[in-house]
Amino acid sequence: MITAPREHWGSRTGFMLAAIGSAVGLGNMWRFSYLAAENGGAAFVLLYLAMTAGVALPVLLAELMLGRGAQQGPLRALVHFGGARWRPLGWLFVGAGFLILSYYGVIAGWTLRYTAEAIWHGFPADAAAHFAQISAGPVAVAWHLGFLALTAGIVAGGIQRGIERASVVLMPLLFAILAGLAVYAATVPGAGTGYAYYLQTDFGELLSLTVLRDAAGQAFFSLSLGMGAMMTYASYLRRDADLPDEAVVIALSDFAVAFVAGLVVFPLLFALGLQQDVGASTIGALFITLPHAFAEMGAAGRAVGLLFFAALLVGALTSAISLLEVVVSSAIDRGWSRPVATLGLGGAVGITGIAAALDTAVLGVMDQIAGNVLLILGGLAIALFVGWSMRDPEAELAAGAGRVHWFFLWRGLLRFVVPAVLAVVLASAIPAALQSLRALFD
């Protein structure tokens, strides 16, 4: 089918900021620091870095290469290189993007609401009761739909006028806010104990399988891998764009934001002695414990809290944009117009997400299935495809970059290391996800 000529990014910086925007999101600003504190502090940070470099980065580079080469969305990119038998994988990607956005929109809806409330009246004293009130039910549905409307508004603008323009404005804003907050957090009394808790080093923790799974899962989720988001963004690059350096910069920026977010969060919690409130629920902690801290801090807390949630909102928005673009670009490849695809599919995502907006238990299960299973499955398939099945990935990668000296290292990681690690992760994630799914219906 003949469609309009493919859009392209206006500049390399625009692409980079959009890709970093996809990576940096709800996953970085809380999940990472929480996992680090729970799983061995600095030792976990090192393991996470190893996972990022040895497992996630090779897959990121593979996704960028496939997207750039195919000049098509994820539904068609693998078919372009590998033939029709890879088509189901494209559907897995689009399905995962659809599912993730449908509950990500709910959490982002809470974030939008907290940001607005910080402006209107500050943070409530009883943060837990407030969260219980707003996290599920018709109000949560409304904020979820509001957030998705914002997301769809940007995606409808297209690559250059929508996504690139938003990323170029929003991402530097996020970096600036976060850096400012980290400097502020260093000055609060008790900051030292907060850092110590965050980065206390316990290498003993690293020996457990769950820690390995957490580190790998987090690396994938955080870099938006395993569902074609990076592939989609790369499909709007010109064929001769460079890739390996870009992949490294995206991964490093994502890590830097996650790490700095931890430097913001823990001093604030320790300054107020709230660390024991960091309970089992990661999502709840972000929306209960931190607002509690902001409420106790008075006027300064309101300003700091507003900035924190604004940064979180920016992160969520630029990630949600990439999730919607995966679905929309696939429809455009099949002949839909961008406005129709954005409205129709954005609307469908909104409706699906209502289930998560009405019940946080449903949201948790969706997160587990999508994040821990579908993304890892997608990453595994990409590694197997590029590692074993694709014809001459070296030539494809070299387009734009010139000769790639460490090609064998990359291919070797994709062939052996990535599949081995991801298979172990899946073996422990699938039973856990099935169990939560069953619990939901009991």
Q: Which residues bind ligand PFF (CB under 6 A)?
A: 22-23, 25-28, 100, 221-222, 224, 227, 229, 319, 322-323
Least distance from ligand PFF to the Cβ atom of residue 367, Å: 11
Nearer to ligand PFF, 130 or 232 (CB): 232
CA dist 244 and 387 (Å) reads: 17
Least distance from ligand PFF to the Cβ atom of residue 319, Å: 4
Nearer to ligand PFF, 265 or 295 (CB): 265
Nearer to ligand PFF, 100 or 140 (CB): 100
Nearer to ligand PFF, 312 or 386 (CB): 312
Least distance from ligand PFF to the Cβ atom of residue 105, Å: 12
Nearer to ligand PFF, 77 or 271 (CB): 77
Least distance from ligand PFF to the Cβ atom of residue 158, Å: 19
Least distance from ligand PFF to the Cβ atom of residue 407, Å: 26
Amino acid occupying residue 178: L
Nearer to ligand PFF, 28 or 135 (CB): 28
Least distance from ligand PFF to the Cβ atom of residue 76, Å: 17
3-class SS string, the chain: CCCCCCCCCCCHHHHHHHHHHHHCCHHHHHHHHHHHHHCCCHHHHHHHHHHHHHHHHHHHHHHHHHHHHHCCCHHHHHHHHHCHHHHHHHHHHHHHHHHHHHHHHHHHHHHHHHHHHHHHCCCCCCHHHHHHHHCCCHHHHHHHHHHHHHHHHHHHCCHHHHHHHHHHHHHHHHHHHHHHHHHHHHHCCCHHHHHHHHHCCCHHHHHCHHHHHHHHHHHHHHCCCCCCHHHHHHCCCCCCCCCHHHHHHHHHHHHHHHHHHHHHHHHHHHHCCCHHHCCCCHHHHHHHHHHHHHHHCHHHHHHHHHHHHHHHHHHHHHHHHHHHHHHHHHHHHCCCCHHHHHHHHHHHHHHHHHHHHHCHHHHHHHHHHHHHHHHHHHHHHHHHHHHHHCCCHHHHHHHHHCCCCCHHHHHHHHHHHHHHHHHHHHHHHHHHHHHHHHHHHC
Nearer to ligand PFF, 152 or 272 (CB): 152
Least distance from ligand PFF to the Cβ atom of residue 273, Å: 29
Residue 146's Cβ-side half-sphere holds a number of Cα atoms within 13 Å equal to 15
Least distance from ligand PFF to the Cβ atom of residue 196, Å: 26
Least distance from ligand PFF to the Cβ atom of residue 224, Å: 3
Nearer to ligand PFF, 100 or 332 (CB): 100
Nearer to ligand PFF, 31 or 292 (CB): 31
